[in-house]
A and B are shown apart, each in its own frame.
Chain A
Amino acid sequence: MVLKRLPRRRLLLLGVITAMLSVALVACGEDANGDDRDDGGANGATTATHTPAGGGTTAPTATSTGDEETLSGALTIEGSSTVAPYTRLAIEAFEGLHSGVTVTTGELGSGGGITAFINGEAPIAASSRAIRDNEVEQAAANGYEVFETVIAYDALAIVVHPSNEIPQLTFEEVARIFAGEITNWSEVGGADLRITVYTRNEESGTFAFVEEDVIQAALGSDAEYAATVNKQANAPAGLTAVSGDVSGIFYAGLGNLADIPAGAVREVPIAADAASDAVEASSETVTSGAYPVARGLFYYTDGDPAAHDDPLVRAYLAFVVSAEGQAIAEELNLVPAR
């Protein structure tokens, strides 16, 4: 009897510990993340004797690279998964120019990146939406003066299931679909089918961009997402959902669309208003202003990066706005900011 009792009790104990640990992990997750992200900022200022490069934001690549061969250390960039493909390519090129430099980047989402910036865990936040006044206040409370650098502009494609034959949508119709005012495809010229709205989740800059610059821009500042939208953890999850759901609608950057098989989803042409022609998202239609759902991609730093304490931040942001950094944006089908 005694022997047989043991495993049962041990399992129960394991169960108790598992339950406690799962809660403990939730509680400690924040600290663990903080530790991970901290080293970048701490090690960043290793070459304090470096002479500041005058006018970093406008300096052409040649002078800035020739100037900063002594750079070394680590830099952390946290934030948007939409900006991440750009950041990864830019880091690769930047590390190629400065062999002693290590740049790490996270994809917590724009909100996550800005939060990490506010908390002092990352010196550069990458975002696919403009920072909110509220977040600027929070940063100021921690002693950071928010400075915005536009990397490039990005079109946001509206996608549906490949079998959905809806010819086009207007900007306002897109807003009303995501706000839950239009709930059936027949209301916008499609089949008689309930609309299933997929969105990114709240950490995403794209999620906030659509709420602020599409829904509220079209329907007034009180408008918000429909309560029942289905929040997906990331763009691939939403694209997978729409590719299988005949009633689905979702949005994604062109970079995300390039990552899935052609024909998995259908991009809907969008018209700025009822009088305009509907066009598909591309760098040309964004540049011409014909495509209405476009947003900036940003880096946020503490103060003007040209005068930043950390030479790595100065050099990296100077690289981003240089001709070489902007060429990377073009490669990714983004619209260069300069």
Chain B
Amino acid sequence: MPRHDGRTAQIGDTLSAAQPRPQPAARSLAAAIRQPRRGGALERAVEMVIYGTGVLTLVLLIGILVLLAQQGLRLFLEFDYSFWRFLTYPNAITDNTSHPEDFRFGIIAPLIATLWVTLVTLVLAVPLGLATAVYISEIAPPGVRLYIKSAAELLAGVPTILFGFVGLFLLVPFVRDQFGWGAGGMSGMTAGIVVAFIAVPLIISIADDALQAVPVDFRENAYALGCNKLQAIWFVIMPAAISGLAAAAMLGMARAVGETMAVLILAGGNSSITDSPFDSMRTMTATIASGFGNASAYSLLRPALFMTGLVLFAITFFTTVIADAVLEKQRKRFSR
């Protein structure tokens, strides 16, 4: 038994003293190690299953991409819908039609709507989420930290339709009467505010983990050098956790891009191009959700919605990949 320091030696000694004959135990351990392993088949089977689930994730990812592309590209290959028109038509009307000349659908308006809602979400949710994470990680006493962290995790699990509902009956009348945004209070801004509250718990959770991952000697050194708490947080801890914090923000963004129900209810439903977040609008997810019932097998709408899905997939995919990359960078920097 290796003994590195006095404390371990002491415990080891006590154990030896308590057990009159430690040798048989060691021998049986050695024997157990030397013994041929049983249950190998089961172990291999379990390994195969776990391996399979891992591969399934990849298959699913590629499968979605292939399905979206295969179904979506039919819009141009089979239905002869102009690619230029798909990019630039200033409205996205989800009519069921099999005639390309009757089809008035462009990705630009829903794309801009999604970008507006995402922008509003990021501007609100990132400072709020990061500030809360810094508070619970660095400042709050352990009791408070526990409550806030648990509350954030609970909030992260609340179905988003409930956020949409609360937004519709609390926020919409308020912004309508106070600011007159969009259509009767329903606008990209309104939706963005509510989606920010959906994204904040996620950002808190990930950013808190990132801050907790900063080695304790960073803090101790900062204080030893005479930093006060704010200086230690601002100049040492946050820079050290920066890529984790960035990843938190990016996952918050992916959440905003993908949010459907709350946005469908709150953004107002204007399917044309908007030039300010205070307008009524319809995002890509809301366009897909409200158009799918019309998408018959012969309709141009079906491939058009798949193309919309493809663009949505590309945005969330690259956001997540970038978030993953920066996270990995941070992990390498602090691994010892």
Contacts and interface: CB of A to CB of B under 8 A. Distances in A.
Verify that A and B bind, or say they do not: yes
A33 B295 CA distance: 12
Contact of B297 (A8, A15, A18, A118): A118
Contacts of A141: 298
A118 B335 CA distance: 59
A87 interface: no
Nearest to B182: A230
B272 to A, nearest CB: 4
A230 B334 CA distance: 51
B209 A8 contact: yes
Interface in A129-164: 134-135, 137-138, 141-142
B45 interface: no
Contacts of B323: 12, 15
A300 interface: no
A11 B205 CA distance: 8
Number of chain A interface residues as a range: 35 or more
Interface stretch (B13-21, B25-33, B56-64, B138-146): B56-64
B67 to A, nearest CB: 5
Contacts of A251: none
B99 A228 contact: no
Given A23-B313, A27-B68, A119 B272 contact: no
B121 interface: no
A79 to B, nearest CB: 9
A56 B226 CA distance: 93
A135 B97 CA distance: 7
B59 to A, nearest CB: 11
A65 B173 CA distance: 52
Top 6 A-B pairs, shortest CB-CB distance = A112-B293, A245-B184, A231-B269, A227-B272, A8-B209, A230-B183
A242 B183 CA distance: 9
Contact of A30 (B285, B292, B336): B292
A172 to B, nearest CB: 23
A87 B319 CA distance: 46
B324 A138 contact: no
Interface string A56-88: 000000000000000000000000000000000
Given A134-B96, A134-B102, A244-B185, 15 more contacts: A9-B327, A11-B209, A26-B309, A30-B292, A111-B293, A119-B296, A134-B98, A134-B99, A135-B96, A202-B94, A202-B290, A230-B270, A241-B184, A244-B176, A245-B185
B82 interface: no
A30 B265 CA distance: 21
Contacts of A116: 293
Contacts of B309: 23, 26-27
Contacts of A241: 183-184, 186
B127 to A, nearest CB: 20
A248 interface: yes
A99 B272 CA distance: 50
B299 to A, nearest CB: 7
B132 interface: no
B183 A15 contact: no
B280 A230 contact: yes
A54 interface: no
A137 B297 CA distance: 12
B188 interface: no
A114 interface: yes
Interface stretch (B1-9, B111-119, B210-218, B229-237): B210-218
Interface string A240-269: 111011011000000000000000000000
B96 A30 contact: no
B258 A231 contact: no
B291 A1 contact: no
B271 interface: yes
A196 B280 CA distance: 10
11 contacts: A1-B335, A9-B331, A20-B57, A22-B258, A26-B312, A30-B292, A112-B293, A134-B97, A141-B298, A196-B183, A240-B168
A302 to B, nearest CB: 15
Interface string A1-34: 1001101110110011111101110110110010
A14 to B, nearest CB: 9
Given A111-B294, A119-B296, A227 B334 contact: no
Contacts of A102: none
A203 B293 contact: yes
Contact of B316 (A11, A23, A115): A23
Contacts of A242: 184
Interface in B304-325: 306, 309, 312-313, 316-317, 319-320, 323-324
Nearest to A113: B293
B264 interface: yes
Contacts of B302: 30
A12 B297 CA distance: 37
Contact of A233 (B265, B288, B327): B265
Contacts of B168: 240
Most B C-beta atoms less than 10 A away, residue of A109, A201, A233, A245: A201
B277 interface: no
B251 A12 contact: yes
A89 interface: no
